[in-house]
Amino acid sequence: MFQAIMQGILLSFGLILPLGVQNVFVFNQGVTQPRFIRALPVIITASLCDTALISLAILGVSVIILAIPTIKAILFLVGILFLAYMGFVTWKSKASRSTTQDAALSPKRQITFAASVSLLNPHAILDTIGVIGTSSISYSGMEKIAFALACILVSWIWFFSLALVGRQVGRLDKSGRFIMFLNKVSSIIMWGTAVYLITQLI
């Protein structure tokens, strides 16, 4: 049981740690929202999406879906178009301190964008299936449940912590320059991910 929990924590942390589209978006909202509680929609949505992906990977459902070439191709195309669009919008967004309220998305847009960057990123989905889904095969019964819960718990703690750190950074950024820099970095990461997905699709 202990081995399953530790492996779940280490694998999940290893997957979620790299600077990707989802992490940047959650951190960005932590920075731009006027209060931490206003960032809860993005935190909860990202966590729930990860919970769903991890559960599907462990149950083996996602492997069956992605085994169908047409569905996989559609997922990649939608992901590429969405990331390209999000990168453009983020690059163009104003980020001066006087426009922080504009940069802070409404709860509805937070939920929509968080779900999109979580579920329309084939790279992240394939990583979850390949690492967590494959590793879960060696467990059964309560050990498999413990493994799944450990992976899911890491996601929830990570997104709450990420937004909280973003909030602290946002409070220190009086000029708004960091937000502007973060938007540019976010855009480059999104476009880079889109290009990577194109190479995988080809």
Q: What is the mean pLDDT of residues 29-54?
A: 92
The predicted structure's pLDDT at residue 174: 66
Residue written as tokens 């819960």? 149
Give the number of other CB atoms < 10 A from CB of residue 77. 14
The predicted structure's pLDDT at residue 151: 94
- Distance between CA atoms of residues 129 and 125, nearest Å: 6
Q: What is the mean pLDDT of residues 151-174?
A: 90
- Distance between CA atoms of residues 106 and 108, nearest Å: 5
- Distance between CA atoms of residues 87 and 82, nearest Å: 8
CA dihedral 12, 103, 110, 170 (to 10 degrees): 40
The predicted structure's pLDDT at residue 102: 46
Q: What's the per-residue H, E or C state across 56-125?
A: HHHHCHHHHHHCCHHHHHHHHHHHHHHHHHHHHHHHHCCCCHHHHHHHCCCHHHHHHHHHHHHHCCHHHH
Q: What's the first-to-final CA gap in the chain, in angstroms?
A: 42
Question: Which pLDDT band, with edges at 50, 70 and 90, does 63 fall under?
Answer: low
* Cβ pair 191, 117 in contact under 8 A: no
Residue 179 vs residue 164, higher pLDDT: 164
| Arithmetic mean of pLDDT over the chain | 83
114-142 pLDDT, tens digit per residue, is 898 888 777 777 778 778 888 888 888 99
The predicted structure's pLDDT at residue 44: 96
Q: What is the mean pLDDT of residues 172-198?
A: 80
> Is a pLDDT exceeding 80 seen at residue 199?
yes
pTM greater than 0.85 (yes/no): no
Domain regions of the chain by residue span? 2-11+49-201
